[in-house]
Amino acid sequence: MAGGELALIEAFERLLERGQASDPRVLRALGDDASVVRAGAYAVTSIDTVTEGVHFRSAQLTPAEIGHRAVAGAASDLAAMGAAPGEAHLALGLPTGYRGAPELMEGAENVARSCGLTIAGGDITRAAELFVSVAVTGWAEDPATLIGRDGARPGDLVGVTGELGGAAGGLALLDGRVEIDDAVARAALRARYAVPEPRLSAGRALAAAGARAMIDLSDGLATDAGHLARRSGVELELWLSALPLSPGLDEVAEQLGIAAAELAATGGDDYELCVCVPPSASAIAAAAARSCKLNLTWIGKVHRGAAGVRFADSAKPGLRGYEHSL
Amino acid sequence: MAGGELALIEAFERLLERGQASDPRVLRALGDDASVVRAGAYAVTSIDTVTEGVHFRSAQLTPAEIGHRAVAGAASDLAAMGAAPGEAHLALGLPTGYRGAPELMEGAENVARSCGLTIAGGDITRAAELFVSVAVTGWAEDPATLIGRDGARPGDLVGVTGELGGAAGGLALLDGRVEIDDAVARAALRARYAVPEPRLSAGRALAAAGARAMIDLSDGLATDAGHLARRSGVELELWLSALPLSPGLDEVAEQLGIAAAELAATGGDDYELCVCVPPSASAIAAAAARSCKLNLTWIGKVHRGAAGVRFADSAKPGLRGYEHSL
């Protein structure tokens, strides 16, 4: 084992040690074959991988941002279920000579902590290209409090947290496809792509407020709302003109030569939540989002009809988000 | 999404559907942001990755064997804790054009089922080289029934399940470094490498029989027993001449020009269990292993002393297994 690799394993061990020390649920995180954690009644688990050249380019992001995005993307799945945050286990695939791993782990740890997750274990291996697989577990005492994609009913309102399109704008900036003069706007767009915030508290608050179906927006609203519509067997009528646009998106969209709302509907990686709520619960749902410092914008309605998404005010039929897994 | 990729996702969905249908603990496995599973009191979790060219070569194994080994390696960590099997979540990284994924998933599912695990979720992504990350969770009602690496005490006996060296022999065969005429012996050695059996029942039985410390043998006895010794702060005196050798290992070792016992002590991927047991519990531990159709062979003793492994009857000091993770 080379010196750099030993240092890396020690950095990982320190990370696990901190997790174990700070989280009384974690009985064993370090030095054993597996972590041991006091469980809730129901485990909510997702695994998510980001790979070089598919989900990110190392030339565009710091190692800390790569670690952040990997954990945020997995944690976002827990948010979409309305689960309480639990633990994360990281599997790192590192190309020979990769120097960024300690910083990557720090980025992973910081976002994990910020959303209440403890990194309780992991695995480091050599790989041809950098990848990070993150398994996250959340907990629920009653499975009825968890929100699937399958519960939307005709008459429900469709809401979305925060703003859309910012991550796509940030990526366009990093790709050099657009130029923004205002440094503040530039930094804000870049941050939406580089350090997304998983909406764990909002997910739990919306679940408690009566959400019937929920999904996080990783592949873009058009695609992800389509998953929800098909799983629920309903038609989602969405209103392009109602979409909440990230600040600065107008300028990005203009340079790209597409409508800002269309970019907001199709751009991926925003990690906002799309939620279906019966009209009777709409005020309490909006208040729940506000309690997490997020706007909830009503962007459509659920109908009986062909399972899928229909943009009521789009000239183009069949808007699609990108699908970054395959 | 190309037709082949859609077929792949459908194959994965069928796998999850079967898991959900066959395991009443699994409430949601399919079509949601995360799986939902009824938990035990304590979650025991490990994540493990195998990557092309580091842990296996696609030219040497069928896709089903690659899937089998990936799940077996992760499940073996649960065995070493004495945990009851629970769920597995798979993250597949597939090179463009890779055709083996459905078969790989079948191999993963078969070994999962054979050791009581349910595949409850997963993620498929493109990657430069094939990799499989497997997060496994087992369960325990009382954390005191789980066996760490840190419990070995002076006076304990050191035992090992099954036979050692077979996987290293199988790999030598596949690498073309040795030739074995007997087709049965050849197939048996190859199987030890290609389709290892994680010792989940034996792990639980040994835990119940009074094991004080346990580790699974992935990097080889010399290395893995060293981890256990250091975590327990004890010296493990091991007897090379006592190691149980896989059938056919003598011939392999002769062709490789090393002692068979040395190959058994250093070869990786056997996934047997190394266990420390107080002498008063040795008979019941051996009976526990036999109840799982495995021999338990006493291969050494625990002493006060410098934390580490000492081979009492080896001419070479400092035998090391390989470490396949970095």
Mean pLDDT of chain B: 94
The residue type found at A282 is S
Taking the C-alpha atoms of residue B280 and residue B273, their distance in angstroms, rounded to an integer, is 20
Q: Give per-residue burial for A105-134: e unless 16+ CB within 10 Å, then b.
A: bebbbebbbbbbbbbbbbbbbbbbbbbbbb
Residue B273 has pLDDT above 80, yes or no: yes
Residues of chain B above pLDDT 70, percent? 96
- Does the pLDDT of residue B180 top 60, yes or no? yes
* Separation between Cα atoms, residue A260 and residue A270, nearest integer Å: 15
User: In this complex, which of A27, A42, A81 lies closest to B37 when CB atoms are compared?
Assistant: A42
* Residue A133 pLDDT: 98
- A39 and B43 within 8 Å at the Cβ level: the answer is yes
**Minimum-distance CB partner of B46 among A33, A126, A150:** A33
> What pLDDT sits at residue A2?
47
Task: With H, G, I as helix, E, B as strand and everything else as coil, classify residue B118.
Answer: strand
Residue of B nearest to A120 (CA): B45
Q: Cα–Cα distance between B325 and A126 in angstroms, integer? A: 7
DSSP A145-205: GS--SS---TT-EEEEES-BSHHHHHHHHHTTS-----HHHHHHHHHHHHS----HHHHHH
pLDDT, residue B2, reads 47
Helix or strand (DSSP H, E) at B135? strand B131-140
| The predicted structure's pLDDT at residue A252 | 97
- What's the rounded Cα separation, in Å, for the pair B223 and A95? 24
CA within 13 Å, CB half, A5: 16
Question: pLDDT value at position A313?
Answer: 84
3-class SS at B5? helix
Verdict on whether the full-model pTM lies above 0.90 = yes
Which of A28, A47, A89 to mutate: most B Cβ within 10 Å?
A: A47
**Coil, strand or helix at A309:** strand
Q: Which of A33, A71, A125 to mutate to test the interface with B (most CBs of B within 10 A)?
A: A33
For residue A95, what is the nearest residue in chain B, using CA coordinates? Answer: B326
Per-residue pLDDT band for B317 (boundaries 50, 70, 90) equals low
Task: Tell me how far CA of residue B145 lies from CA of A80, B80, B208, B234, in angstroms.
Answer: 34, 12, 7, 22
pLDDT at residue B77, rounded to an integer: 97
A208: distance to nearest CA of chain B, Å?
Answer: 18
In the predicted model, what is the mean pLDDT of residues B181-188? 95
Mutual orientation of helices B249-256 and B166-174 as an angle, nearest 10°? 60
Summarize pLDDT for B197-253 with one digit per residue, the tens. 999 999 999 999 999 999 999 999 999 999 999 999 999 999 999 999 999 999 999
How many Å separate Cα B37 from the centre of its chain?
Answer: 24
ipTM: 0.94
Structure tokens at A123: 């695995």
- Please enumerate in sequence order all residues whose Cβ is within 8 A of that of B182, keeping only pairs 6 or more positions apart, or say none: B248
Q: Which residues pair with residue B216 across a beta bridge?
A: B273
Question: Of A206, A207, A225, A205, whose CA–CA distance to A216 is shortest?
Answer: A225
Question: Is it the case that residue B268 has pLDDT exceeding 60?
Answer: yes
- Beta strands per DSSP E along B230-326: 235-238, 273-277, 296-303, 308-311
Is B32–A148 a contact, with Cβ atoms under 8 angstroms apart? yes
Torsion of CA B252, B255, B261, B264, to 10 degrees: -40
Q: Which residues of B touch A43 (CB under 8 A)?
A: 35-39, 43, 87, 137
Mean pLDDT over B180-203 rounds to 97
Distance from CA of B135 to the nearest CA of A (A): 7
Which stretches of chain B are DSSP H helices?
A: 3-22, 63-81, 101-114, 166-174, 183-194, 200-208, 221-232, 249-256, 260-266, 282-291
Q: How many CB pairs under 8 A join A and B?
A: 247
Instruction: State the CB neighbour count (10 A cutoff) for residue B305.
Output: 14
> Does residue B277 carry a pLDDT above 80?
yes
Asked whether the predicted pLDDT for residue B100 surpasses 60, the reply is yes
- What does the pLDDT read at residue B222? 96
Chain B residues with CB-CB distance to A33 below 8 A:
46, 76-78, 80-81, 149, 214-216
Instruction: State how far the alpha carbon of A230 is from the alpha carbons of A223, A225, A322, in Å.
Output: 11, 9, 17
Percentage of the residues of chain B whose pLDDT score is greater than 90: 87
CB contact under 8 A, B51 and A128: yes
Q: Distance between CA B215 and CA B213 in Å, rounded?
A: 7
- Rounded Cα distance between A311 and A323, Å, is 19
Q: What is the pLDDT of residue A324?
A: 55
**Contact (CB, 8 A) for A214 and A147:** yes
Nearest CA in chain B to A213: B32
Whether residues B31 and A150 touch (CB distance < 8 A) is answered with yes
Contact check, Cβ <8 Å, A44/B34: yes
Neighbours of B223 (CB within 10 A): 21
pLDDT of amino acid B1:
41
Q: Which amino acid does the sequence have at A154? A: P
B43 or B2, greater pLDDT: B43
pLDDT truncated to tens, each residue of chain A (326 aa)?
A: 445 667 788 888 888 888 888 899 999 987 889 999 999 999 999 999 999 999 999 999 999 999 999 999 999 999 999 999 999 999 999 999 999 999 999 999 999 999 999 999 999 999 999 999 999 999 999 999 999 999 999 999 999 999 999 999 999 999 999 999 999 999 999 999 999 999 999 999 999 999 999 999 999 999 999 999 999 999 999 999 999 999 999 999 999 999 999 999 999 999 999 999 999 999 999 999 999 999 999 999 999 989 999 998 876 767 777 665 54
Return the structure tokens found at A213. 């179906």
Contact yes or no for A33 and B137 at CB 8 A: no
Q: What is the per-residue pLDDT for A51?
A: 97
